[in-house]
Amino acid sequence: MKPLCLLGRILLVIGCCLVLPAGAHDAMPPLDIGQGGKCVDDPGFMRLNHMKLLLQQRDETVRLGVRGGRYSLAGCVDCHASKVNHSVLGTDRNFCQGCHTYAAVKIDCFECHSSHPRPAMESRR
Amino acid sequence: MAFLFYLAFCVLVGGLAWRMVTYARTPAPLKIPTTPAPTTVPGVVFRMAREVLLFESLFKANLWIWGFGILFHFGLVLVLARHLRYFTDPVWGWVVLIQPFGIYGGMVMVAGLAGLWVRRLAVERIRYISTPSDHLMLLLLLTIGISGLSMTFGSHPDVVGVKRFFEGWQTFSPHPLPDSALLVLHLMGVAVLMIIFPFSKLLHAPGVFFSPSRNQVDNPRERRHMAGWAARFDKETPHG
C-alpha cells in the first residue's frame, strides 16, 4: 500500500463531503395523529418506551387487577385513532401502523385488542 | 457521524475495488488446484460454492474453528438482512419476515465470536501465533455485536430516528442521529470496521474467490496453462 495514494483518496473524499448540500427534510413518516392533544407523558419518552409501558400496564392489570393506570392502550387509541378511518391501523399514515411499517416492527396488540376508539369516546368527538 | 460514514463507505468500496483489481492482475503461472479437483468449469463453480457457503476446507482442517466460524458468519448474514430495514423504504417483504431471526442471528454471531476468542486465548499454541490485530478484530466485532444486542434487549434507541438518519445519509440531506450512547458506539464500530476492512485479514471475503488452488480446473493435459506474460515470452523467442 502506497501511503500517498491512500492519503490522496481520503482527501478527495473529504473534499467531496464538504461541498455536499446540507439541508434537512422533515417529518418522515407523515402521521395522522387523530385528535391528539396532551399526551400522558412526554412524546419523546413515549416514542421510545410506549411498548414497555403498555406491557407493564398489561401485567399489572392482568396479574394484580390494577385498573385505571396512567398508560392504557385503549387510551392511546381513543386519542390517536384517525378521524378518517377511526382506527390507529389501516394505512401507512395511521398512528400505530405508520411507524411500525416504516421500521418493520410487528404490532401484537391488535390481534386481540380493538384498534378503534371506545364508543363513549367516539360520541364525544 | 454522517460524514464519517461517507468516508468509511468510500474507503470500503474504493479499497475493495483496488484490492480486487490487484488480486485479478496477480499472475498465476502454475496450474496448482488442490487435488482431488474438478475437471470441468461447472465443477469448479460447485467446489467454490461449497467452500464459500460451507467452508469445506476449514471443516476438513479444524472442526472447532469451523463450528464457531459457521456460527459467526451465518449469524452475520441474518443480522445484515435484518438491518436492511434501515436502508429500504418500503421495507422488502422478506426482510419484514426475517426480522425475528435477525435477533437470533445476533446472539449466534456473538456466541461464535466469543468462541473464536476463547480459542485464541485458551489454546496455548494459538495464543502464541495470535497478533494484536487478531485480538483487536474480534474485540471490534464483539463490540459491534454486543452494543447492537444491548439496544435490542436493553435500552432501545429511536429506531424511526435511526432510519431517518440513514435515509438522509443516502440522499445527501443529513438528519440528526437520535441520542443514544450505545447507538454511537455501535455505529463508530461499524465505521471503523468498514475503514479497516480493505487493509486487514477480513479480505479473505473477496480473496477466497481469487485463490488459484481453489478456482482452477484440473485439466493441465487437455489445455496448456500459460500465464499472460509467459505466453508472450513463448511467442517472441521461438524454440530451435
The whole-angstrom separation of Cα A14 and Cα B12 is: 15
Using the beta-carbon criterion (under 8 Å), do A47 and B85 form an inter-chain contact?
no
Residue of B11, B163, B168 with shortest CB distance to A103: B163
What are the residue boundaries of the structural domains of chain B, listed by start? 2-61+131-236
Q: Contact A100/A106 with Cβ under 8 angstroms?
A: yes
Those of residues 54-83 in A touching chain B at CB distance below 8 A are none
Grid cell digits, residue B178: 437520535
* pLDDT confidence band for A18 (50 / 70 / 90): very low
Q: Which residue on chain B is closest to A22 by alpha carbon?
A: B173
- pLDDT tens-digit map of A60-69: 888 998 887 7
Maximum Cα–Cα distance for chain A, whole Å? Answer: 75
Tell me which of B91, B95, B158, B160 to substitute to probe the interface with A (most A C-beta atoms closer than 10 Å).
B160
Cell numbers of B210, please?
481469487
> Do the chains contact at A104 and B3, CB–CB below 8 Å?
no
CB-CB under 8 Å, B174 with A104: no
Using CB atoms, pick whichever of A17, A23, A99 lies closest to residue B160. Answer: A99
Rounded to an integer, what distance in angstroms lies between the CA atom of residue A54 and that of residue A29?
A: 23
User: Are the beta carbons of B163 and A102 closer than 8 angstroms?
Assistant: yes
Per-residue pLDDT, averaged over B63-79, amounts to 96
Residue B175: pLDDT above 50?
A: yes
**pLDDT given at position A1:** 41
Alpha-carbon span B140 to B197, nearest angstrom: 12
What is the C-alpha separation between B171 and B157, in angstroms, rounded? Answer: 22
pLDDT computed for residue A32 by the predictor: 87
Helices marked H in B29-98: 41-54, 56-61, 63-83, 93-97
Burial of residue B68 (number of CB atoms within 10 Å: 0-12, 13-18, 19+): buried
Q: pLDDT digit string (tens) for B81-130?
A: 999 999 998 899 999 999 999 999 999 999 999 999 999 999 999 999 99
Identity of residue B1? M
pLDDT tens-place string over residues A75-113? 899 999 999 999 999 988 899 999 999 999 999 899 999
Which chain A positions have a beta carbon within 8 Å of B96's beta carbon?
104
Three-class DSSP labels, chain A: CCHHHHHHHHHHHHHHHHCCCCCCCCCCCCCECCCCCCCCCCHHHHHHHHHHHHHHHHHHHHHHCCCCCCCCHHHHHHHHCCCCCCCCCCCCCEHHHHHHHHCCCCCCHHHCCCCCCCHHHHHHC
Instruction: Report ipTM for this prediction.
Output: 0.79
Candidates B13, B84, B164, B183, partner chain A, best to mutate (most A CBs within 10 A): B164
Residue B117 grid cell? 476468542
For chain B, the residues whose C-beta falls within 8 A of a C-beta of chain A are: 3, 6-7, 10-11, 14, 85, 89-91, 95-96, 99, 156-160, 163-164, 167-168, 172-176, 199
- Sorted by sequence, the CB contacts under 8 Å of residue A93 that are 6+ apart come out as A29, A30, A31, A32, A82
A119 band by pLDDT with thresholds 50, 70 and 90: confident
Whether A19 contacts chain B with CB within 8 A = no
Residue B120 C-alpha cell reads as 485464541
Convert the pLDDT of each residue in B25-53 to its tens digit: 988 888 999 989 999 999 999 999 999 99
